[in-house]
Amino acid sequence: MAWFGKLTFGSLGLFFGGPLGAIAGAALGHHLIDKMQGISARSYGAPQEARVEYAEQSQAAYFVSLFSILGKIAKIDGVVTRNEIAVVQKFIKGLQIPETQKRFAKQIFNEAKDSEYSLEDFALQLYQTTRDHPTILLSFVDLLFRVVAADSTFHPAEESALKSIARIFGISEEQYNNLKAAYFDDLGKYYRVLNCNPESSNEEIRSNYKKLVKDFHPDTIVSKGLPEEFTDFATKRFREIQEAYEKIGMERNF
């Protein structure tokens, strides 16, 4: 990433201001500058007064936005868990970039999660930088899905965050659902089976589940002497109820 050398050697102001510039500057100030003392700009092939091209600005915005937004998503429920940190660290470790840039990514994550800026602030600035390239914005949301899906759960707050980003980026509902389907089961259909929605409490879900199990249990249907066709339907419905409760239970960890 040619932009990285320019960013670390004094051209931050040429890239972007706003929330992304503030987070990038804080990340550099708290981590990389001390570690990179003694490294000359020549080793990066980028003099301090190097001109920043539009493509480099977009790449830098993409990078800083990604780890800023991941930081906000990780803390969206108020607490950053060890599992969430492990997921992001694993993702960063797998990136084909130098170790200095991996450390920069981690520091952006840490700075952003505790910053005064909102997730929407970062998303809006990235959109302003790359709105003429919808494919880049779509790939950004796809990457967020990949990281969020790494722990095999999709918390309602995470979904709300990704939907908010998709709206800012002008991504259609169909495009969003297609991306989601690539990483997660359609949890919406499981909620519908239990006559619930993602905002329902665990207690409400359990209550609905118990009632539906009682109503559609094969023994209950047989005891009522209903036609065989209805018994077959009820048996299928009973299996769907069991599957829905299991899927939602895995997603909510109950």
pLDDT averaged per 10 residues, the chain (length 254): 65 68 84 46 40 71 91 82 82 88 91 93 92 89 87 83 96 90 82 90 95 87 70 86 93 86
- pLDDT, residue 185, reads 74
Give the separation between CA 127 and CA 95, rounded to whole angstroms.
23
With a threshold of 0.85, does the pTM exceed it? no
Structural domain that includes position 175: 2-183
pLDDT score, position 3: 75
Handedness of CA 193, 148, 24, 130 (dihedral sign): negative
Query: What is the percent of the chain where pLDDT is above 90?
Result: 33
Domain finish residue from 128, 155, 183 = 183
Q: 199 and 132, same structural domain?
A: no
Rounded distance between C-alpha atoms, residue 8 and residue 243, angstroms? 52
- Of 160, 183, 206, which closes a domain? 183
pLDDT at 107: 92
Give the pLDDT confidence score for residue 26 in this predicted structure: 87
Task: Round to whole Å and give the CA distance between 196 and 99.
Answer: 46
**Of the residues 183, 217, 239, the one at which a domain ends:** 183
Q: How far is CA 239 from CA 69, 150, 217, 229, 234, in A?
A: 39, 28, 9, 16, 9
Element (H, E) at 192: helix 187-193
Q: In terms of domains, do 144 and 234 share one? A: no
**Domains of the chain: total:** 2
Measured from the Cβ of residue 155, the count of other Cβ atoms closer than 10 Å reads 18
Do 129 and 200 sit in the same domain of this protein? no
Whether residue 223 sits in one domain with residue 103? no
